[in-house]
Amino acid sequence: MTGSKDWQRYINPLVLGIPSSGIRRFFDLASEMKNVISLGVGEPDFVTPWHIREACMYSLERGYTMYTSNNGLLELREEIARDLGDTYRVTYNPLNEILVTVGVSEGVDLALRTLLQPGDEVLIPAPSYVSYAPCVTLAGASPVYLKTSVENGFQVTAEMVDKAVTPKTKAMILCYPNNPTGATIDRHNLLEICELARSHDLIIISDEIYDKLTYVGEHTCVASLPGMRDRTILLNGFSKSYAMTGWRVGYAAGNSDFIAVMKKIHQYTALCAPITAQIAAVEALRNGRQGMKNMVEQYGRRRRLILQGFKEAGLPCFEPRGAFYAFPDISVTGLSSEEFAQQLLQEEKVAVVPGNAFGEQGEGYIRCAYAASVEDITEALRRMNSFVKRRVSRGKIITAPFGKAEQKKEGYCQVL
Amino acid sequence: MKEILELLENDARLTFKQLAVMIGKEESEVAGLVKDLEKNKIILGYHTFINWEKAGEEKVSAVIEVKICPQREVGFDAVAERIYRFPEVTTVRLVSGAYDLVVMVEGDTLKEVANFVSQKLATIEHVLSTSTHFVLKNYKIQGTIIEDGEEDRRLVITP
Domain co-membership, A199 together with A345:
no
pTM value?
A: 0.91
Tell if the CB–CB gap between A27 and B155 is shorter than 8 Å. Answer: yes
Tell if the CB–CB gap between B154 and A131 is shorter than 8 Å. Answer: no
Q: Strand pairing of A366-369 and A353-354?
A: antiparallel
Tell if the CB–CB gap between A374 and B14 is shorter than 8 Å. Answer: yes
Asked if the structure places residue A262 within a domain, the reply is yes
Domain co-membership, A165 together with A302:
no
Domain co-membership, A68 together with A103:
yes
Last residue of a domain, one of A241, A263, A287: A287
Domain co-membership, B24 together with B68:
no
User: Does residue A78 surpass a pLDDT of 80?
Assistant: yes
Asked if the structure places residue B147 within a domain, the reply is no
User: Does residue A398 surpass a pLDDT of 70?
Assistant: no
Tell if the CB–CB gap between B158 and A30 is shorter than 8 Å. Answer: no
Domain co-membership, A204 together with A78:
yes
Domain co-membership, A283 together with A314:
no
Tell if the CB–CB gap between A31 and B11 is shorter than 8 Å. Answer: no
Q: Can you tell me the mean pLDDT for A23-40?
A: 88
Domain co-membership, A216 together with A107:
yes
User: Does residue A412 surpass a pLDDT of 50?
Assistant: no
Contacts of A301 in chain B (CB under 8 A): 7, 22-23
Last residue of a domain, one of A241, A260, A287: A287
pLDDT < 50: residue spans in chain B: none
Asked if the structure places residue B143 within a domain, the reply is no
Asked if the structure places residue B47 within a domain, the reply is no
Asked if the structure places residue B74 within a domain, the reply is yes
Domain co-membership, B72 together with B119:
yes
Q: Is B24 on the interface with A (CB under 8 A)?
A: yes
Confidence of residue A20 (pLDDT cuts 50, 70, 90): confident
Domain co-membership, A265 together with A346:
no
Closest CB to A30: pick one of B21, B152, B156: B156
- The gap between the terminal CA atoms of chain A, to the nearest Å, is 45
User: Does residue A234 surpass a pLDDT of 70?
Assistant: yes
Tell if the CB–CB gap between A378 and B18 is shorter than 8 Å. Answer: yes
CATH of the domain at A345: 3.90.1150.10
Asked if the structure places residue A192 within a domain, the reply is yes
Q: Can you tell me the mean pLDDT for A45-60?
A: 97
Q: State the average pLDDT for chain A.
A: 93
Domain co-membership, B66 together with B132:
yes
CATH of the domain at A172: 3.40.640.10
Closest-CA distance of chain A to residue B22, Å: 4
Closest CB to A36: pick one of B14, B150, B156: B156
Q: Is B127 helix (H, G, I), strand (E, B) or coil?
A: strand
Asked if the structure places residue B24 within a domain, the reply is yes
Asked if the structure places residue A402 within a domain, the reply is no
Q: Is A301 on the interface with B (CB under 8 A)?
A: yes
User: Does residue A394 surpass a pLDDT of 70?
Assistant: no
Q: How far, CA to CA in Å, does A337 sit from each of A343, A353, A363, A365?
A: 10, 8, 6, 6
- Please tell me the total count of domains within chain B: 2
Nearest CA in chain B to A325: B159
- The 10s digit of each residue's pLDDT in A94-145 is 999 999 999 999 999 999 999 999 999 999 999 999 999 999 999 999 999 9
Q: Is B119 helix (H, G, I), strand (E, B) or coil?
A: helix
Please tell me the distance from the alpha carbon of residue B53 to that of residue B75, in angstroms, as a whole number. Answer: 38
Mutate to test the interface with B, among A20, A27, A46 (most CBs of B within 10 A): A27
**Least reliable range by pLDDT among A16-20, A37-41, A115-119, A149-153:** A16-20
Domain co-membership, A21 together with A99:
no
Confidence of residue A4 (pLDDT cuts 50, 70, 90): low
Q: Can you tell me the mean pLDDT for A76-103?
A: 98
Please tell me the distance from the alpha carbon of residue A43 to that of residue A239, in angstroms, as a whole number. Answer: 8
CATH of the domain at B102: 3.30.70.920
Please tell me the distance from the alpha carbon of residue A370 to that of residue A379, in angstroms, as a whole number. Answer: 12
Domain co-membership, A119 together with A78:
yes
Q: Is A153 on the interface with B (CB under 8 A)?
A: no
**Least reliable range by pLDDT among A15-24, A56-65, A312-321:** A15-24
- Please tell me the total count of domains within chain A: 2
Asked if the structure places residue B116 within a domain, the reply is yes
Domain span holding position B32: 2-39
- The 10s digit of each residue's pLDDT in A266-275 is 999 999 999 9
Asked if the structure places residue A401 within a domain, the reply is no
| DSSP line for B95-115 | -SSS-SEEEEEEESSHHHHHH
Last residue of a domain, one of A287, A315, A337: A287
Domain co-membership, B76 together with B121:
yes
User: Does residue A402 surpass a pLDDT of 60?
Assistant: no
User: Does residue A165 surpass a pLDDT of 60?
Assistant: yes
Q: Can you tell me the mean pLDDT for A72-86?
A: 98
Asked if the structure places residue B115 within a domain, the reply is yes
Please tell me the distance from the alpha carbon of residue B31 to that of residue B15, in angstroms, as a whole number. Answer: 9
Cα angle A259, A263, A267 (rounded to 5 degrees) comes to 175
Domain co-membership, B100 together with B132:
yes
Contacts of A23 in chain B (CB under 8 A): 157-159
Q: Which residues contact A34 (CB under 8 A, 6 or more apart)?
A: none
Confidence of residue A416 (pLDDT cuts 50, 70, 90): very low
For residue A396, the model assigns a pLDDT of 52
Asked if the structure places residue A107 within a domain, the reply is yes
For residue A31, the model assigns a pLDDT of 87
Of residues A410 and A345, the one with the higher pLDDT is: A345
Of residues A399 and A329, the one with the higher pLDDT is: A329
Q: Is A211 on the interface with B (CB under 8 A)?
A: no
Please tell me the distance from the alpha carbon of residue A182 to that of residue A324, in angstroms, as a whole number. Answer: 7
Please tell me the distance from the alpha carbon of residue A116 to that of residue A114, in angstroms, as a whole number. Answer: 6
Tell if the CB–CB gap between B159 and A304 is shorter than 8 Å. Answer: no
Q: Taking CB atoms and an 8 Å cut-off, how many pairs form between chains A and B? A: 59
Domain co-membership, B25 together with B70:
no
Closest CB to B154: pick one of A41, A301, A304: A41
Domain co-membership, B71 together with B117:
yes
Strand partners, A351: A38
Domain co-membership, A204 together with A295:
no
Q: Is B18 on the interface with A (CB under 8 A)?
A: yes
ipTM given for this complex = 0.87
Q: Can you tell me the mean pLDDT for A232-244?
A: 98
Domain span holding position A210: 50-287
